[in-house]
Amino acid sequence: MKFPLESDPFPPVEATPERVADLENLAHILLNETIAEWEHFVHVQNREVDKKRWKPTKTRESMTVYKDMYHAKSDPVPVYPGTPSTVGSDESNRGLRLLGVGSIVGNLEDFMLGNATISAEQMRIRTSYTDDECVDHRVLDVWRQPTVEDPFTLHSLRWYVKAVPGANAIVKPRDLLLIDCQGILETTKGDRLGYLLLHTVEVPECREIPGIIRCQLSACYIFRPNGPNSVEVYLRSMVEPGGKIIDSVATISSTNALISTWKLPWVGQNRKLTWMMTQPTSVRAEKLGKKVAATKPARKDKCSLCTKSITLLRRVSACELCLDSVCSRCLTVRKLSYIRRNGDLVQVPTAFCKNCIMWSTSMKFPLECDPFPPIEASPERVAELENLAHILVNETIVEWEHFVHVQNRQVDRKRWKPTKTRENTTVYKDMHHAKSDPVPEYPGTPSTVGSDAANRGLRLLSVGTMVGNLEDFMLGTTTTSTDQMRIRRSYNDDECVDYRVLHVWRQPTVEEPFLVHSLRWYVKAVPGANAIVKPRDLVLLDCVGIHEMANGERLGYLILHSVDVPECREIPGIIRCQLSACYIFRPNGPNSVEVYLRSMVEPGGKIIDSVATISSTNALISTWKLPWVGQN
């Protein structure tokens, strides 16, 4: 059996309010019991382990995992009535009881960030750093997500598959259905404790899979800050591996998986570094607190950190984050993990200077928090949005045909003023906008562009050609997840600093590989002007696809159009702006694409006209990099 599995092994799981209440109650009981055990270990046992009962099995840094040698004589783990727990039965008491105590280098925030994953892709990336023997995983349901107030709280139901490295021929893989809960709580004494709870539960929808043995686990970690760069760890765990397995193999495998948490601070730092590598130069400079070069600097004779001269034994290289020239001894290489568009995980060696590594340790980086509740578009709403997209595409095609056949691709320079050019494409600003016809509103659709307020904004036109083929253009703009949007953003510098895919109702297929119709949220910020210009956000109808004309000609389209979504209220500190932009891409030879764009922008709030024009132009013309994105 090859992992990860190509398709989801279970049907969608929707936890009812009653089931969620049961799971939360179970988590509350287990967490309180573990805290009570930890306090007894600290205050009564003075952090001393009974070596007659507990045998050490593995140590990482200053943390050791012990095996209970008297488990058959120990008190049984209680079963909790009314909860779907599967650990605590007579069968599970024949398993392994493990204890982990000690300390690990790192801070509490990096611990929690390193473990916090809200998608299968993020879980794969975490496993690539921790080597926790997990070969497949799925997030089945999430009922508590991170918020601004609790950025590390994440309660979910998950499926994991564990396999013993190098022993697949003799030891079958094991899977687990777990409640996976993490967060930070404050005790009555004011101490901040991180927690991580992994506890097997019964899920009727998730039956056992042939060839995989269902095992049972109950593990609860407590993380307590123990100084500026140290965290005390307490773990109690019980494992029933199921099936026939040699006791020593079960002990080693369970210990390896449980002690892998010692790498979580490393994971948290790497997540910060990966995020920063996708940010534009202006954001890097703001976060790092220093000027960051736009390109790699010229070779220097001295290291910018230790100031020592460069010799044959001390070579100079550039930090790939801040681009400073540093010597080999002040440089460290980390393998950052990424998920490619085809689903493959790759690790890219990336060089960082010591300053950037130290910065990643101290940087306060809250977990991504969804700013809005989940959005499920009703069939009626989807029909309205599809109708709006159809109108916008058809109107833009009519305008483009008029521009081609009547205007002979000539722009009226008395009306349109050029603002920026990339390759052979130029963006123009309408200088007669106040006199132009208003953009029509579309009755029955949730459009917000076309109102009187929007007509006080900017009207922009873009025409010309760009190097590339239509397929690369469309592949470069086709994204179906927030992670893919982040990768695209790292290539095209469109001034977008945050984004979410809110809802997708048309996805790519074999017949239409570039078709994506969705609702999305974007946040734009003007580089270097955060102190004087507030960020703007947009809630957009985002549609990509290829349209076939009556004469058989293929045209690519990209629609970005503001819509009203009641669930997405304005966020304090961010100004809601309005946009209507429709691109037409027409093949113009083997490696050239003609581009036509009509756009209207209402930036909202108070903003200098020239700043609004430059920012809007930069964002709209960033499509010239789409073929580059598609090729990458």
Strands 62-68 and 96-105: antiparallel
Contact 246, 46 (CB under 8 A): no
The residues near 277 (Cβ < 8 Å, ≥ 6 apart) are 320, 321, 336, 350, 490
Q: CA-based Rg of the chain, rounded to a whole angstrom?
A: 28
Mapped onto helix, strand or coil, the DSSP state of residue 447 is strand
What superfamily would CATH give domain 379-631?
START domain (3.30.530.20)
Q: Of 31-35, 158-162, 510-514, which gets the smallest average pLDDT?
A: 510-514
pLDDT of residue 297: 53
Task: Select the CATH number that applies to the domain covering 17-260 from these four: 3.30.530.20, 3.30.465.10, 3.40.50.1240, 3.40.50.1820.
Answer: 3.30.530.20
Q: Distances from the Cα of 227 to the Cαs of 107, 108, 223, 366, in angstroms?
A: 8, 10, 12, 20
Q: In the predicted model, what is the mean pLDDT of residues 406-428? A: 92
* Separation CA 603–CA 613 (nearest Å): 9
Q: What percent of the chain has pLDDT over 70?
A: 84
Q: Of 415-424, 473-482, 549-558, which gets the smallest average pLDDT?
A: 473-482
Q: Of 213-227, 414-428, 471-485, which gets the smallest average pLDDT?
A: 471-485
Query: Between 239 and 283, whose confidence is greater?
Result: 239
* Separation CA 528–CA 498 (nearest Å): 16
pLDDT of residue 456: 56
Q: CATH 3.30.40.10 in the chain, residues?
A: 279-362
Q: Distances from the Cα of 442 to the Cαs of 284, 388, 439, in angstroms?
A: 41, 7, 10
Beta bridge partners of 543: 517, 559
Q: In the predicted model, what is the mean pLDDT of residues 492-509? A: 82
pLDDT exceeds cutoff 60 at 256: yes
Strands 578-587 and 192-200: unpaired
- What pTM value is reported for the model? 0.63
Mapped onto helix, strand or coil, the DSSP state of residue 308 is coil
Q: What is the pLDDT of residues 26-78, one digit of tens each?
A: 999 999 999 999 999 999 999 999 999 999 999 998 999 999 988 644 444 44
Rounded (10°) angle between helices 354-362 and 281-288: 70
Binned at pLDDT 50, 70 and 90, residue 168 comes out as low
Residue 261 DSSP code:
G
Q: Of 60-64, 134-138, 354-358, 604-608, which gets the smallest average pLDDT?
A: 604-608
- In one-letter notation, the amino acid at residue 72 is A
Mapped onto helix, strand or coil, the DSSP state of residue 299 is coil
Q: In the predicted model, what is the mean pLDDT of residues 412-441? A: 77
Binned at pLDDT 50, 70 and 90, residue 441 comes out as very low
Contact 352, 288 (CB under 8 A): no
The alpha helices in 14-82, defined as continuous H runs, are 17-43
Q: What percent of the chain has pLDDT over 90?
A: 46
Q: CATH 3.30.530.20 in the chain, residues?
A: 17-260, 379-631
- Residue 134: how many other CB atoms lie within 10 Å: 20
CA-closest candidate to residue 609, choices 431, 458, 496: 458
Binned at pLDDT 50, 70 and 90, residue 523 comes out as confident
pLDDT of residue 317: 85
Residue 530 backbone phi and psi in degrees, to 5? -60, -30
pLDDT of residue 368: 53
Contact 239, 198 (CB under 8 A): no
Contact 216, 102 (CB under 8 A): no
Q: Which DSSP helix (H) or strand (E) runs through 524?
A: strand 516-524
pLDDT exceeds cutoff 60 at 577: yes
Q: In the predicted model, what is the mean pLDDT of residues 442-453? A: 46
Residue that the structure tokens 């058989």 belong to: 552
* Separation CA 319–CA 332 (nearest Å): 9
Q: In the predicted model, what is the mean pLDDT of residues 230-244? A: 93
Q: What is the pLDDT of residues 179-220, one digit of tens each?
A: 999 999 988 888 899 999 999 999 999 999 998 999 999 999
pLDDT of residue 200: 95
The residues near 186 (Cβ < 8 Å, ≥ 6 apart) are 192, 193
Mapped onto helix, strand or coil, the DSSP state of residue 23 is helix
* Separation CA 241–CA 200 (nearest Å): 12
pLDDT of residue 574: 85
Query: Between 533 and 442, whose confidence is greater?
Result: 533
Residue 442 DSSP code:
-
pLDDT of residue 34: 96
* Percent of the chain as helix, strand, coil, to the nearest 5: 30, 35, 40
- 29 by Cβ neighbours in 10 Å (0-12 / 13-18 / 19+) ranks as middle
Q: What is the pLDDT of residues 342-401, one digit of tens each?
A: 778 899 999 999 888 888 777 665 445 677 888 888 899 999 999 999 999 999 999 999
Task: Dig out the tokens for 392 from the structure.
Answer: 């916008």
Query: Between 624 and 50, whose confidence is greater?
Result: 50
Strands 578-587 and 592-602: antiparallel
Bond before 4 cis per omega within 30 degrees: yes
Residue 91 DSSP code:
T
Beta bridge partners of 198: 180, 219
Rounded (10°) angle between helices 281-288 and 264-277: 130
Q: What is the pLDDT of residues 300-351, one digit of tens each?
A: 678 888 888 877 667 788 888 888 888 888 999 999 998 887 778 899 999 9
Q: What is the pLDDT of residues 272-285, one digit of tens each?
A: 888 888 776 656 66
CATH number of 279-362: 3.30.40.10
Q: Of 185-189, 481-485, 581-585, which gets the smallest average pLDDT?
A: 481-485
pLDDT of residue 46: 95
